[in-house]
Amino acid sequence: MTDQSTRTIPHWIDGAERVVAGSRTAPVFNPATGAVQAEVQFADDAVIADAIASAERGFRVWSQYSIAKRQSVMFAFRELLNARKGELAAIITSEHGKVLSDAAGEIARGMEVVELACGFPSLTKGEHSENVSTGIDVYTFKQPLGVIGIISPFNFPVMVPMWFFSVAIAAGNAAIVKPSEKDPSASIWLAKLWQEAGLPDGVFTVLQGDKQAVDGLLNSPVVQSISFVGSTPIAQYIYENAARTGKRVQALGGAKNHMLVLPDADLELAADMAVNAGYGAAGERCMAISVVLAVEPVADDLVAKIRERIGRLRIGDGASTPEPDMGPLITGVHRDKVAGYVDVAEADGADIVVDGRGFQVDGAEDGFFFGPTLLDKVPTSSAAYREEIFGPVLSIVRVQSYDEGLELINSGRFGNGTAIFTNDGGAARRFQNEVQVGMIGVNVPIPVPVAYHSFGGWKQSMFGDAKAYGVHGFDFFTREKAITSRWLDPAKHGGIDLGFPQHD
């Protein structure tokens, strides 16, 4: 329940906040306390239409800006963001729950893409071939798509939208961001920063809402592309419906990331990295390690080392001082869902080495906390192994060989990220060639590519043909035109020839 003093999180349309009387709303919680701190408005069809129309007007203006002027706005946005990123980190922590340093890290990784986008002139150039046939030149140039839609997940309310809108706006498009209703404030903050940087009204729009807003973007003939990160069922829904209406689509889905630990690995490093990658951001990362495949005989030793490190983790309000290692989950509903997976694992015969169910923080008993959980000897038939849990639950699966571990990874329906821990270069090279996963770490547990490469998985972790950011991003948000040109020499006359053009 909300009271009259609860603030309302609006839309951002035509360069201003838009509050619509009588709109449907949803509560926005502080996950550390469990208290409702705001309500977010949900768009109806009229608001959706206004947002798209505003973005279309903004595109017509922005796409005609010179490259130099667009680049100056990009640089201004980057400088403003760098100066005020502490404010944004506090907003992320208050609505998502991740600790402040993790929120700052999210912004830093998003800023890498902003900085890449500042160099867009060299990434959107065309090509020219002179005299391909007598007196004929061929050249290409790239133009923006128009209005593009971004549907963002709750776990990275800043970084993920930045992956898309930085590249899209730099390339001359207008972006409509539909944030998660669970942590919607960061997008409004970013909209105001864009305005301060000099972006024309309508070029950056925030459309708050639920499925109605999503479907409004999917069904609009004005919206030319959809970029999405979230669960696999929703990614597939977005891909199928956006493609049906002729849109470009990049829909990044779920994951079940494995970390293969070979017997020659440095187990101290492997244990550190398993804890970092399994429990960072309370496991609410699509690139989190959720399964450790321990090649015998190292499992007992590795489990002991991970358990010892879990005992040293501090869990609490991400905004508190001193800062804890891990904050709460996003909602009470999600916390209960994560607990349900642990119940399933236990019923299926897994050993509960460390149990996070029922975990509470003193003074914050109503917060959505779930303690770091370590499961051993998890059956691969269990739903706790096969499905994405999206919480601080790390499963140990014992295997007898590299080949057995590789087969488990490759037989899964997801293919987002994976890692191998070994001191054997030959084994690592074999793994990176044989594993059927889009992003691979060698002694690196969360192999998220830097901005000038591209992010995306395989199989049911990715729907669409273009990965996020990097060269893929600029190709996705632009269309290429090829021009074949001949300027006749006035001293000559070509005459009429109805045959197929040939090279003489």
Q: ∠ CA 184-185-186 to the nearest 5 degrees?
A: 100
Beta bridge partner(s), residue 415 = 458
Answer whether 210's CB lies under 8 Å from 42's CB: yes
Q: Residues near 69 by Cβ (< 8 Å), separated by ≥ 6?
A: none
The 3-state DSSP class for residue 351 equals: strand
Which residue numbers are catalytic?
286
3-state secondary structure 234-296: HHHHHHHHHHHCCCEEEEECCCCEEEEECCCCCHHHHHHHHHHHHHHHHHCCCCCEEEEEEEC
Of 195, 161, 165, the closest CA to residue 180 belongs to 161
What token pair was written down for 74?
């990009």
- C-alpha torsion sign, points 460, 465, 466, 471: positive
The secondary element (H helix, E strand) that includes residue 148 is strand 147-151
What is the longest distance spanned by two Cα atoms in the chain? 91
DSSP one-letter string for 305-325: HHHHHHTT--BS-TTSSS--S
